[in-house]
Structure 1
Amino acid sequence: MNSSSMAMASPRDSNNRRLHHFLSILLLSATFLGRSDACHPTDRAALLAFKSGVTADPSGLLRTWDAAADCCSSWAGVACDPASGRVANLSRPGLSSGPDFVSDASVAGVLSPALGNLSALRLLDLSNLKQLSGPIPSSLGRLSHLQFLLLHFNDLTGPIPDSFTGLRRLRWLFLSSNRLSAAIPPSVFASRALAELALSENQLSGAIPATIGRLTALEKLDLHGNSLTGSIPEKIGMLRKLTHLDLSENRISGRIPESIGNLSNLMVLYLNHNHLTGGIPSSISGMASLRFCQMSDNGLSGNLPASIGALPRIQRLILENNHLTGELPAAIGSLATLTDVFFSSNRFTGKIPSSFGNLVRLMTLDLSRNHLSGPIPPELSKLRNLQALDLSFNPLFLQSGGPPSWLARTNLFKLMLAGTGIAGPLPDWLSLASSISILDLSSNNLTGELPRWIGGMKGLSFLNISNNGLRSRIPEEFKNLTMLMDLDLHGNELYGKLRPVLAKGTQDPLGHYRTLDVSRNRFTGGLDEDIGELPAMDAVERLVVSENPGLGGRIPATMGRMEALKVLGLAGDGLWGGIPEGVMDLDGLTVFDVRGNRLSGRIPRHTARLPAEGFAGNLGLCGAPLPPCKTRRLQ
């Protein structure tokens, strides 16, 4: 599981942005709202021209725009300057809210060039209309008094106009979530008053212009989700008022500039999912306000600078999927505000620093897929807030005694120790670890029986002990795992009947399998005829029983009732007889693998596109996707 799915809600969270937007627009509307004697004819004509370009308004956002009425006093979303009578505020967003309502509307059409005639306009908000398409008219560059331009969440195309050089009073420019293309023009940086610039989730390309250094009033810069290339400009360090910087999900390359350390007010830094290389600059210590730092999914290399331990407000540090090397700096242990660490899939070596035991607010520690060695420092037992610990696929050499028993005294919700060298029986202290819900001990050298006490881990929702050497029957106590929804036992030497797994209890709405993999074992006794009627099996999406050669029996007809099933693997299970009607006709079925059995008869009619390979090695089967039965008999 990656950091984006585990970490707390991001500061970029759309709901937070929308709330911020709502409150701001309400304040602006209250500021600009005023009555005048009559609507200026130039402004009336411009607004009616915009309305004429609207092809669909199902929610009636422009219903009150009646040519016979005064636009300043009667048209919704229009406010005029009482002194001049000119339109100062045009605000018809698709998404709006009040103390007791949320309104979500859409408008289809284009932006009329006549909007450029609203020469006194200070606020233009046509955001979240969803189906507003076509280019941004270059005439908008004539709006020399414009301070707030909000066109995000539409379907606008083409380049950002060069004429925006005329918008020298602009404070907010929000063009995110459109289909704008070409390079970011220097005109975007014409206003020295610009405080917030959001061009994210478009199709913009080219490099970030070095002239961005002129925007010394800029507080928020969001360019994520484009196809930007080139390097991060060195002059980014001149934006000393910057609090939010998001350049993620682009194709930016080169090194992170040393000047980034000048951003002492920066609270949010997202550089993830780019092509950045080189080391993390030691100047990062200058970012004293930094709270959220994400540089994952790049090609960063070299040692992690010890100066990273001088970030007094850092909460979340995400550096996964890079090429970072060397030992983890002990100085990280001084980051008292740290709540989440994601360092997985790097090349860190050495031991886990004992100073990590000082991270008293830490909730997630993910050091998986590195080259770290053991033992796990006992100082981590002091982390009473720690909920998720993932040390998987590190050579921790835990054979000497297995995972430390003090883990049972923590409040861990998730414990991942796959591929760490654990040997011998399942540690019996797990029977006391009542808080654990997600447990992964796969790809180790576990041996012996699946113990009866496993049924006492009643909080388990996810259990993966695959690719080990466990050898036993499934204990009857397994039925007590009433919250278990994902189970992977494949690649062991488990034997006997599957009934204790299939017929376990549930605790509605929990405990119904989503995924179940018992393949590559030695189970016998066939699949129970009532498998499709068992409560634990009624929501399973992926069921893999393949390569249990002694399983035998028929495919139960009740499997046709497992309506959520998408993947069914029954290859090499010694099955015989026919394929029951309905089993292959499940709506979501995409994989049906019964290779290498002794099935016979006509393959039932089905709508799913299933390849012939999934039926290979059953000499008695015929019918689509195999050759027709008549042809086979003639052959």
Structure 2
Amino acid sequence: MDTYIYSSKLILLLSFTLFNHCIACHRTDRSALLAFKAGITTDPSGLLETWDHTTDCCTEWAGIACDPATGRVVNLTRPGLTSGPDFVTDASLVGILSPALGSLSHLHVLDLTNLKRLTGPIPASLGRLSRLTDLLLSSNELTGPIPSLSRLRRLRRLFLNSNRLSGRIPPSIFSSKSLIQLALFENQFTGGIPASIGKLEFLEKLDFHDNLLTDPIPENIGSLHRLTHLDLSENQIRGNIPFSIGNLTRLIVLDLYKNDLTGNIPASISGMLSIEFCRISYNRLTGALPKSIGYLPRIQKLVLENNAISGKIPSSIGGLTTLNDIFLANNRLTGKIPSSVGKLKNLQTLDLARNRISGPIPHEFANLHNLQSLDLCNNPIGFTSLPAWLVEMSIFRLMLSETGIMGPLPDWLGLASSISALDLSNNHISGELPWWIGNMTGLTFLNLSRNAIRSTIPNEFRNLAMLMDLDLSYNNFYGPLLPVLDKGVSEALGQYKTLDVSRNGFTGGIDENIGEFVAMQVAEVLDFSYNPLGGRIPESMAKMSALKEIRLANDGLLGEIPDGLLDLEELTEFDVSGNELTGHIPRHETPLPAVWFSGNAGLCDDPLPPCGG
């Protein structure tokens, strides 16, 4: 029994000794890590605090993992941003990447992401780390070109995004056929995507957005059959969308926003059977929408706005039954909206603004029970009046500027309590502003400018307790402004941000308590110009500390400019030209041109000639 106990203790002792011997940090790796630490000038969060030459790097250094059989470092992970179920840690390092990191010859994972202030180049020596599977250096301030990575043939993830890297994208980064994720976004890369990218048969995510790329997308992009995410947005990429794009049957996200792409949308787009998000807006695409665009069985968001796409909207669009949002604004589309749009039962946003679409609007629109935002602005729809079935749709945002609407506002609009944003500007609306406007208590944005409405403001207007942006300019409103200025507010909403009542016939002056009204206290833009208001500029206006732009030109105003009004910290514009103001212009720090004070014979001092001069 004693012999057994002695033998067991001896085995345990030998095992413990052997175990400790096997995990001891290799001297080459220790030296490389200490050299990296020496290149760090500031470590405010103590990320490398445990890296002490007197301790073992494999067991006591934070962020280091070793192979227990060899003592070689396999993981170096010191990211700046870490999180758990109940914590988030945000740290940084100031310094450079030491070339000595290239001596960590057994390294699999190098993660120095989100350290914010690592500067200088990526050392060429990192190209020797042939066992590396993850090279993660994103969200720093690294500069210069990407060194050759042709020996990194096991690499699966390469994240160099959100730095200041420049130069052309080297073909060597595509040397690893095992690459699954490649992120170079938010840098300054130029040129194009090397054609050798077509060899990355396992690539799933490719993100090069926000660079300076110009060359056409390589045709063999369609060889990346496992690709699920492709983001080349916010570059300057020229040329056509490759026809091979239709071979990307697993692609879920395609983002080509804000480039210089030309030509047609290829008919092969229907091959992207998994696509859910497609954004090709802000390019120079031309031609008609292909019929095949209606054969995308999983599409949820289709964004093609701000191109030069022409022709009619194909009736096949009704096949996109999974579609939630479609943006086709600012193109050259013509003809009528197809009735098949009424089949888009999941549609929430339809934006066809700034095209050449004509009416009438198909009655099938009434089937779009989930529609929340409808924008048909700046189209020759030729509305004689607003269709009554709109009230049945529970629309949240209704934008119908410059669509030919005529006559008075229809009474049913007062029942449309779901509407939050309403734009009926630039039409031929006439008659009065009805009392039931006060029933539209969900309104946060209202634009009735550039119509022919002749009316006072009904007292019920005060009920619009959520209204924050109002434009009544270029109409024939008259009477006092008080129902507009002293309206109700809700707890979280309802204080004006912008208020434009210019070019009307309002009278009765600006209420002396304007700066005390709760609805006015955070207003940024105030335009009362070209109204026969009369009276004085209220002293309480100087309490409206958020004001940036004040326009009171040609309002028949008398008296002096109140002290403090020109000292508002945010003020950038103050136009009181064409009034009958007198006295000294108060001292002000903001440079204000003389033209904003012109036409007031009794005003003097900077920027006008001095008083008594």
2:11 is aligned to none
Unaligned runs of 5+ in 2: 1-19
**Residue pairs, 1:180-259, within 5 angstroms:** 180-259=165-244
2:254 is aligned to 269
Aligned residue identity for 2:507: T
* 1:626, distance to aligned residue in structure 2 (A): 2.4
SS in 1 for 2:130: coil
Q: Is the 1:35–1:80 contact (alpha carbons within 8 Å) kept by the matching residues of 2?
A: no
Q: Which of the residues 513, 516, 519 maps onto 2:502? A: 519
2:365 is aligned to 380
Unaligned runs of 5+ in 1: 1-33
Q: Is the 2:477–2:504 contact (alpha carbons within 8 Å) kept by the matching residues of 1?
A: yes
* 1:189, distance to aligned residue in structure 2 (A): 1.0
1:409 aligns with 2:392: yes
Partner Cα distance (1:336, 1:172) in 2:
36
* 1:359, distance to aligned residue in structure 2 (A): 0.6
Q: Which of the residues 583, 592, 599 maps onto 1:610? A: 592
* 1:370, distance to aligned residue in structure 2 (A): 0.6
- Bigger-Rg structure (1/2): 2
1:73 is aligned to 59
1:108 aligns with 2:94: yes
Q: Which of the residues 539, 543, 568 maps onto 1:561? A: 543
Q: Which of the residues 119, 125, 138 maps onto 1:133? A: 119
Q: Which of the residues 417, 420, 433 maps onto 1:434? A: 417
**Residue pairs, 1:32-51, within 5 angstroms:** 36-51=22-37
Q: Is the 1:35–1:82 contact (alpha carbons within 8 Å) kept by the matching residues of 2?
A: no
What CA deviation, in whole Å up to 9, does each residue of 1:115-153 have, x standing for no partner? 111101110110001111111111100110001011111
Q: Is the 1:116–1:140 contact (alpha carbons within 8 Å) kept by the matching residues of 2?
A: yes
1:361 is aligned to 346
From the superposition, tell whether residues 515 and 213 of structure 1 become closer, same or farther in structure 2 (CA, over 3 Å): same
* 1:563, distance to aligned residue in structure 2 (A): 0.9
SS in 1 for 2:412: helix
* 1:624, distance to aligned residue in structure 2 (A): 1.9
What CA deviation, in whole Å up to 9, does each residue of 1:479-538 have, x standing for no partner? 010111110101111011100000001111211001100011111111000000000001
Aligned residue identity for 1:559: M
Q: Which of the residues 143, 150, 169 maps onto 1:157? A: 143
Aligned residue identity for 2:500: D
Q: Is the 1:348–1:370 contact (alpha carbons within 8 Å) kept by the matching residues of 2?
A: yes
* 1:198, distance to aligned residue in structure 2 (A): 0.4
1:7 is aligned to none
Aligned residue identity for 1:520: R
What CA deviation, in whole Å up to 9, does each residue of 1:344-375 have, x standing for no partner? 00011111111111111111000111111111
SS in 2 for 1:165: coil
Aligned residue identity for 1:390: D
Q: Give the TM-score, by structure 1 length.
A: 0.92
* 1:625, distance to aligned residue in structure 2 (A): 2.3
Q: Is the 2:420–2:444 contact (alpha carbons within 8 Å) kept by the matching residues of 1?
A: yes
Q: Which of the residues 458, 461, 466 maps onto 2:444? A: 461
Q: Give the TM-score, by structure 2 length.
A: 0.96
Partner Cα distance (1:185, 1:133) in 2:
21
Q: Which of the residues 510, 534, 549 maps onto 2:517? A: 534
Partner Cα distance (1:227, 1:238) in 2:
24
Aligned residue identity for 1:355: S
* 1:37, distance to aligned residue in structure 2 (A): 2.5
1:174 aligns with 2:174: no
C-alpha RMSD of matched pairs (Å): 1.1
Q: 172-181 or 99-108, which moves further after superposition?
A: 99-108
Partner Cα distance (2:292, 2:126) in 1:
47
1:619 is aligned to 601
Partner Cα distance (1:557, 1:521) in 2:
24
* 1:98, distance to aligned residue in structure 2 (A): 1.2
2:8 is aligned to none
1:483 is aligned to 466
2:315 is aligned to 330
Q: Share of identical aligned residues, percent?
A: 63
* 1:607, distance to aligned residue in structure 2 (A): 2.0
Aligned residue identity for 2:601: L
Partner Cα distance (1:412, 1:504) in 2:
24
Q: Is the 1:527–1:556 contact (alpha carbons within 8 Å) kept by the matching residues of 2?
A: yes
Between the two proteins, the alignment pairs up a number of residues equal to 594
What CA deviation, in whole Å up to 9, does each residue of 1:212-232 have, x standing for no partner? 111111111000000100101
What CA deviation, in whole Å up to 9, does each residue of 1:462-485 have, x standing for no partner? 100101010111011100101111
Aligned residue identity for 1:127: T
1:289 is aligned to 274
Partner Cα distance (2:540, 2:38) in 1:
60
Q: Is the 1:35–1:79 contact (alpha carbons within 8 Å) kept by the matching residues of 2?
A: no
SS in 2 for 1:302: coil
Partner Cα distance (2:579, 2:235) in 1:
49
Q: Is the 2:23–2:70 contact (alpha carbons within 8 Å) kept by the matching residues of 1?
A: no
SS in 2 for 1:303: coil
Q: Is the 1:515–1:542 contact (alpha carbons within 8 Å) kept by the matching residues of 2?
A: yes
2:106 is aligned to 120
Partner Cα distance (1:278, 1:108) in 2:
47
Partner Cα distance (2:56, 2:605) in 1:
73
Aligned residue identity for 2:588: H
Aligned residue identity for 1:324: I
2:453 is aligned to 470
Q: Is the 2:23–2:69 contact (alpha carbons within 8 Å) kept by the matching residues of 1?
A: no
* 1:260, distance to aligned residue in structure 2 (A): 0.6
Q: Is the 1:35–1:72 contact (alpha carbons within 8 Å) kept by the matching residues of 2?
A: no
Q: Is the 2:23–2:66 contact (alpha carbons within 8 Å) kept by the matching residues of 1?
A: no
